[in-house]
Amino acid sequence: MPTFCAGESGKSTIVKQMKIIHQDGYTKEECLAFISIINGNILQSILAIIRAMSTIGIDYGDSANAEAGRQLFNLVDSVEEGTMPKELVDVIKKLWTDSGVQACFERAAEYQLNDSASYYLNNLDRITAAGYVPNEQDVLRSRVKTTGIIEEQFSCQDLHFRMFDVGGQRSERKKWIHCFEGVTCIIFCGALSAYDMVLVEDDEVTVVFSEHLGFSLYQALLALVFPAFA
């Protein structure tokens, strides 16, 4: 049972949900392994917002926070990937409370921003506290680009399922054909929040609706799917 659609449409989230519902969720060790991913998501989110402020033309609510913005970019170059030192946490907190940053966040449909940005940034104190162990919601909301093909197996009543998660970016779609042998079900995913968002890899094509030039993806999918079920 493969899950298909564009990148960041929720394919991997569905697979995670199946693990939580049908496989007793994630162990503590598995949850701890998500800390670096979550830290990376937080950093990517605040960087995306600050960069977008310049593109969109939004000023800081407090002009003094422009220095915090510069400090953020300086710190990013010096911290180890996946870590969140206190100095960086303090800068992110300061920026996230700025009214200009919040105004830019409200216009997130105009640029690429992780759907979980506000969730993680609003929970920054808990996530960066000593001894933090990600909960299921933290894990579920984490975002990492899927590459290749990932398989999960689970049982529901008397049925055994094999679910395959695939990368959604264009560079990954050529691998989808390898998922079709013996397939009995295909799940097409579409994020409700993506109705007016463009693809990460092509800002001229929207994620969802064919009326907005996204039709080529779905034509390509149908060309792959129908022969497999013929």
**Is it the case that residue 63 has pLDDT exceeding 80?**
yes
Convert the pLDDT of each residue in 69-124 to its tens digit. Answer: 999 999 998 888 888 999 999 999 999 999 999 999 999 988 889 889 999 999 99
Residue 10, judged by CB atoms within 10 A of its CB (0-12, 13-18, 19+), counts as: buried
Q: Is 140 annotated for ligand binding?
A: yes
Percentage of the residues of the chain whose pLDDT score is greater than 70: 68
Residue 185 has phi, psi (to 5 degrees) of -155, 140
143 is catalytic: yes
CA–CA distances in Å: residue 124 to residues 42, 51, 111, 161: 8, 20, 22, 36
Question: What is the predicted pLDDT for the residue at 204?
Answer: 61
Q: What is the pLDDT of residue 135?
A: 95
Ranked by mean pLDDT, which of 51-55, 181-185, 201-205 comes out on top? 51-55
Strand partners, 163: 152
For 41-64, what is the mean pLDDT? 96
Instruction: Give the model's pLDDT for residue 185.
Output: 75
Candidates 98, 138, 143, 173; catalytic one: 143
Has residue 22 got a pLDDT over 60? yes
**Annotated catalytic residue: which of 169, 170, 172, 202?**
169
pLDDT digits (tens, 9 = 90+) for 180-189: 667 777 777 7
Residue 13 catalytic? yes
Pick the catalytic residue: 8, 128, 173, 206? Answer: 8
2-25+146-225: CATH topology is Rossmann fold (3.40.50)
Q: Which CATH superfamily is domain 28-133 in?
A: GI Alpha 1, domain 2-like (1.10.400.10)
Q: Is 27 a catalytic residue?
A: no
Per-residue pLDDT at 206: 60
Please indicate, yes or no, whether the overall pTM of this predicted structure exceeds 0.85.
no
Residue 44 annotated in active site:
no
Identify whether the C-beta of residue 28 lies closer than 8 Å to the C-beta of residue 54: no
Rounded Cα–Cα distance for residues 188 and 6 (Å): 9
- Is residue 167 annotated as involved in ligand binding? yes
Asked if 128 is an active-site residue, the reply is no
Each domain of the chain, given as residue ranges in start order, spans 2-25+146-225, 28-133
Q: Is the pLDDT of residue 4 over 50?
A: no
**What local confidence, expressed as pLDDT, does residue 210 receive?**
46
